[in-house]
Amino acid sequence: MAAPHPPKHEIFDVPGRTNTDPKGFIRDVEVYRTTDFGLYMDRPADHRQFSRLQSWLLPDLGLRASIFHFRPGHERDQRLYLDVGVFTGPDADGCWHSEDWYLDLIDRPGHLELEDVDELFDAHAAGLIPRENAEAAVHIATRTMTGAAAHGNDVEAWLASEGAELTWPPR
């Protein structure tokens, strides 16, 4: 088992059209769009498994919904990848910020899968995430899974019912 890591942070610099990833790499962003319910980002990726990343930061829901455009040979049976955490913005400089609280939800055909529960518990035990945040992460994940189930296992239908109607420009 790997040692627990601190929560991952990202910066979404809308005026500068960049995204600083958790490792500190600054990525150029092609599209940012701000709505009343969140921030949309679309950027290329130089990752070996995927070539593009589209994401919505949804502060009121404690979620980041992403579509990874996988390269040939690395395809996965997922539609959306949802990170649980705290998402804020814009600040005085027009930047948005995220803190990932370990839990992830994978939108697979017909259901959502909850992942990285062990990482959340290990991080809390190591003092890297306070109890209040760990509890909030569990509540966010539970609400999301329950909401999607109530909408025929359609997480996007549930998000729309919560006021976050996501649009994904084709890529």
Residue 117 corresponds to which amino acid? V
CA 17 to chain centre: 19
Burial 55-84 (b: 16+ CB within 10 A, else e): bbbbbebbbbbbbbeeeeeeeeeeebbbbb
Residue 56 corresponds to which amino acid? W
147-155: list long-range contacts, CB under 8 Å, 24+ apart.
Answer: 148/107, 148/112, 153/110, 153/111, 153/112, 155/65, 155/80, 155/82, 155/105, 155/107, 155/112
pLDDT for 71 equals: 58
Average pLDDT over the chain, rounded to an integer: 93
Residue 166 corresponds to which amino acid? L
Nearest to 87 by CA among 157, 40, 148, 23: 40
Other beta carbons less than 10 A from residue 31's beta carbon: 11
- The domain ranges of the chain are 8-160
pLDDT for 121 equals: 97
The yes-or-no verdict on residue 50 having pLDDT over 60 is no
Q: State the average pLDDT over residues 41-60.
A: 86
8's enclosing H/E stretch is strand 8-13
Tokens of 132: 């209040």
Whether residue 41 contacts residue 19, with contact meaning beta carbons closer than 8 Å, is answered with yes
Whether residue 103 contacts residue 84, with contact meaning beta carbons closer than 8 Å, is answered with yes
pLDDT per residue over 114-152, tens digit each? Answer: 999 999 999 999 999 999 999 999 999 999 999 999 999
Top-level class of domain 8-160: mainly beta
